[in-house]
Amino acid sequence: MKHTDIKEVLTNASFIGQKVTVCGWVRTARNSKNVAFIELNDGTSLKHLQIVIDKAADIEYENALRLGTSIKVEGTVVEARQAAVEINAESIEVIGECPLEYPLQKKRHTLEFLRTMPHLRGRTNTFNAVFRVRSVLAESIHKYFQNRNYVYINTPLITGSDCEGAGEMFQVTTHGYSTEFKNADEYYSNDFFGKKAGLSVSGQLEGEVAAMALGKIYTFGPSFRAENSNTPKHLAEFWHVEPEVAFAELPDIIEMAEDMLKTVIRELLDTCKDEMQFFDDHFEKGIIGRLEELISHDFGVVSYTEAIKLLQESGEDFVYPVSWGCDLQTEHERYIAEKVFKKAVFVTDYPKEIKSFYMKQNPDGKTVAAVDLLVPGVGEIIGGSEREADYEKLIAAMNDRGMNLDLYSDYLDLRKFGSVPHGGFGLGFERLIMYVTGVSNIRDVTLYPRAVGNIR
Ligand code: 4AD
């Protein structure tokens, strides 16, 4: 179907005076005495294109005024008073009718209501803006790494090893329920892979394999977590950006994370001006200014031990009590980012007991070289570390956790054959989108959210 994108018509002045064909869905329509107006959107732009219909002209338009109807319009682009341009229609063809039961009749619907119809909510301004921001950020992240000699690696989604060891793996099986197996071992050895398999919670372990050959790599793909936490920031399927760098220590990883975030947010502010203004107007007043502020200052850095002291001295009445050794809850993370630092802050060197087996053990014997990045409004968006590169120390940490070393033999080999200091992090892509848009529920920054008790 030959037609011009509405974005092009709205932004390219050379169309003025030209005849064009545009397609789209009717967002609103007004029918006055001599003229009718249609606000048309084809998804290429947050802004709609106004179609002006002169009722005296011989144009069939009556069926085109219903919300949600898809139409094709031919007409001339003219300068307009309020918008940059509009189209004086010469012909209108209804492509797909839309009956009155179309649910998106009102101007503004609640996000909860829209969550009940993921197949239609993309046609609202909010989701038009969210999905474009998502797309622009994804491209910027790829560009950031590609421009700096990182190799993009696709790590396996089906795996036999649990990276985080938190017992949150979805099982992958071809076996249904059966009483024919005597025990779990027999059940798994008869399954497709001959052993227990699951969906990967992180590409890190295989990312390390690639980094030990290619030096600097990143992954950008889905991770899966069967977390039973029905919170506004957890999904069962989320997109994960995981760079892994050889010949790097924790400060190098922190520096790269900050530079990457600043670079992609700068590009977002420059590329998605309309969308970011929309979020500033409708979701979080002043968000553009806050992001500008964020990228023009250094992020904070604080050790876990200092962070615990700050929380204990805060006088705040937290739901979860604070003591050295506890995991930081969202309320603690947000207090540190929002009240103490009032900006993004890296928290480093966590107690080894609350972090994963692979993290480099610090000389104090109590902490590991871990880092989380906390941001106002969301809490943690990045989790990373320097990795334990010493074979014996890694084995000891795995034994402490009662892990089955046989499942990790490839990973252990990396420490035997030319081991180097290395590290990386995982950025939750949806959490980044929440942070930069001010959208406060993770279910509203992805096309089809998967969360506990919720799939379609
Ligand atoms: O802190 P996490 O668990 O770290 C890892 O998975 C490491 N293997 C990463 C690495 O070092 N390569 O997860 C990293 C990030 C979190 O900070 C969070 O942003 C996101 O992944 N994340 C989730 N996002 C949405 N829903 C969930 N259920 C998430 N779990 C983690």
DSSP string, 46-91: SS-EEEEEETTSS---GGG-STT-EEEEEEEEEE-SSSSEEEEEEE
Which atom of ligand 1 has the smallest separation from the CA of 234? 26
Q: Which among 344, 349, 347, 346 is positioned nearest to 378, based on CA atoms?
A: 344
Q: What strands lie across the sheet with 158-159, from one edge to the other?
A: 158-159, 197-199, 171-172
| Mutate-to-test residue for ligand 1 from 141, 230, 252, 380, highest number of ligand atoms within 8 A of CB | 380
Strands 345-351 and 367-375: antiparallel
Q: Kindly give the distance from the C-alpha atom of residue 35 to the centroid of ligand 1, in angstroms, as a whole number.
A: 54
pLDDT (0 to 100) of residue 229: 79
Q: Kindly give the distance from the C-alpha atom of residue 88 to the centroid of ligand 1, in angstroms, as a whole number.
A: 51
Q: Kindly give the distance from the C-alpha atom of residue 430 to the centroid of ligand 1, in angstroms, as a whole number.
A: 11
Residue 360 phi, psi dihedral angles, 5° rounding: -65, 130
How far is Cα 20 from Cα 22, in angstroms, rounded to an integer?
6
Residue 255 phi, psi dihedral angles, 5° rounding: -65, -40
How far is Cα 48 from Cα 24, in angstroms, rounded to an integer?
10
Tokens of 6: 């509405």
Determine which residue's CA is closest to atom 27 belonging to ligand 1.
234
Residue 328 phi, psi dihedral angles, 5° rounding: -75, 130
pLDDT (0 to 100) of residue 456: 85
Q: For the chain, what's the residue count?
A: 456
pLDDT (0 to 100) of residue 180: 86
Q: Kindly give the distance from the C-alpha atom of residue 370 to the centroid of ligand 1, in angstroms, as a whole number.
A: 13
Q: What strands lie across the sheet with 345-351, from one edge to the other?
A: 151-152, 216-224, 237-246, 422-428, 379-386, 367-375, 345-351, 300-303
pLDDT (0 to 100) of residue 209: 98
Strand partners, 382: 373, 427
Determine which residue's CA is closest to atom 28 belonging to ligand 1.
234
Helix then strand then coil, % of the chain, to nearest 5: 35, 25, 40
Strand partners, 216: 245
CA end-to-end distance (rounded Å), the chain = 31
Show pLDDT as tens, one digit a residue, over the chain (456 residues). Answer: 999 999 999 999 999 999 999 999 999 999 999 999 999 999 999 999 999 999 999 999 999 999 999 999 999 999 998 778 999 999 999 999 999 999 998 778 999 999 999 999 999 999 999 999 999 999 999 999 999 999 999 999 999 887 787 778 999 999 877 888 889 889 999 999 999 999 999 999 999 999 999 999 999 999 999 988 789 999 999 999 999 999 999 999 999 999 999 999 999 999 999 999 999 999 999 999 999 999 999 999 999 999 999 999 999 999 999 999 999 999 999 999 999 999 999 999 999 999 999 999 999 999 999 999 999 999 999 999 999 999 999 999 999 999 999 989 999 999 999 999 999 999 999 999 999 999 999 999 999 999 988 888
How far is Cα 398 from Cα 392, in angstroms, rounded to an integer?
10
Tokens of 369: 């070289």
How far is Cα 264 from Cα 144, in angstroms, rounded to an integer?
7
Q: What is the pTM of this model?
A: 0.96
How far is Cα 380 from Cα 412, in angstroms, rounded to an integer?
29
pLDDT (0 to 100) of residue 184: 87
Pocket of ligand 1 (CB under 6 A): 163-164, 202, 204, 225, 227, 234-235, 238, 240, 242, 380-385, 424-426, 428, 430-431
How far is Cα 159 from Cα 142, in angstroms, rounded to an integer?
25
